[in-house]
Amino acid sequence: MIRITWLGHAAFELQFDSGQVLLLDPWIDGNPAYPKGYEIAKADAIAVTHGHGDHLGSVVPLAKKFGAKVVAMVEVAGWVASKGVKETIGFNKGGTVDLGFVKVTMTHALHSSSIDDNGKAVYGGEPAGYILTFKDGRRAYFAGDTAVFSEMALYAEIYHPELAFLPIGDHYTMGPEEAAYAGRLLKVKEIIPMHYGTFPLLKGTPQQLEQQLSGSGIKVLPIKQGQSISW
């Protein structure tokens, strides 16, 4: 079993039975949706989808604190390494990194990516998502920030993910209607909604996603900030 904890916005903590911990797009400082009082006790690896501060914001201090490996697009990984993080793995779309306890395959995403380096915009490569392949053979899709795109149907055929982490807030990413369509393209059984409610602009809700998925058989798992589920 994998323990999935939502840390607000698009940040997640995945704890494995083996004891290892994977962080996805961790953003703590400045995140108004981060659960108050929650402490990350360990991180073996951190996967970053793109360079925006609400996804990359806490990666460097967390990686330094726990000695975690950081996996990301080549340009993002290079920037993280330039800030003193010792273990980074830069790769690109279609590539897979085996972390031992989980395999991470980089996928496409429709968004933008730049890094705010002390007020200077630094090129962050292209945005991405990830297919996570677990030891028991199950797979999950972590979309990062994206709109819906047709290649999601290919991910269904190639990887057969059972779970998808999908943004639903709208404005900067897809909203509930597109996310529901994405879920159908991916042929997943369950969706964990993310990237909503953090700011007033992110108006999409899990309830709207459920309405859009009516009759599809896809279950929505609306985790509260700081709450965990076993999957």
Helix (H, G, I), strand (E, B) or coil at 162: coil
pLDDT in tens, 47-90: 999 999 999 999 999 999 999 999 999 999 999 999 999 999 99
CATH number (domain holding residue 75):
3.60.15.10
What is the pLDDT, as a whole number, of residue 148? 98
In a domain, 20, yes or no: yes
The percentage of residues in the chain with a pLDDT greater than 90, rounded to a whole number, is: 100
In a domain, 122, yes or no: yes
Average pLDDT over all residues of the chain: 98
pLDDT in tens, 43-52: 999 999 999 9
Closest CA to 52 of 141, 125, 104, 149: 125
What is the pLDDT, as a whole number, of residue 4? 98
In a domain, 133, yes or no: yes
What is the pLDDT, as a whole number, of residue 185? 98
Q: What is the mean pLDDT of residues 109-129?
A: 96
Domain that holds residue 98: 2-159
In a domain, 203, yes or no: no
In a domain, 66, yes or no: yes
Domain count, the chain: 1
Give dist(CA 87, CA 105) in Å, integer: 18
Q: What is the mean pLDDT of residues 126-139?
A: 98
Would you say 176 and 167 are in contact if contact means Cβ atoms under 8 Å apart? no
Give dist(CA 140, CA 149) in Å, integer: 17
215 burial (CB, 10 Å; 0-12 / 13-18 / 19+) is exposed
pLDDT in tens, 150-184: 999 999 999 999 999 999 999 999 999 999 999 99
Read off the pTM. Answer: 0.98
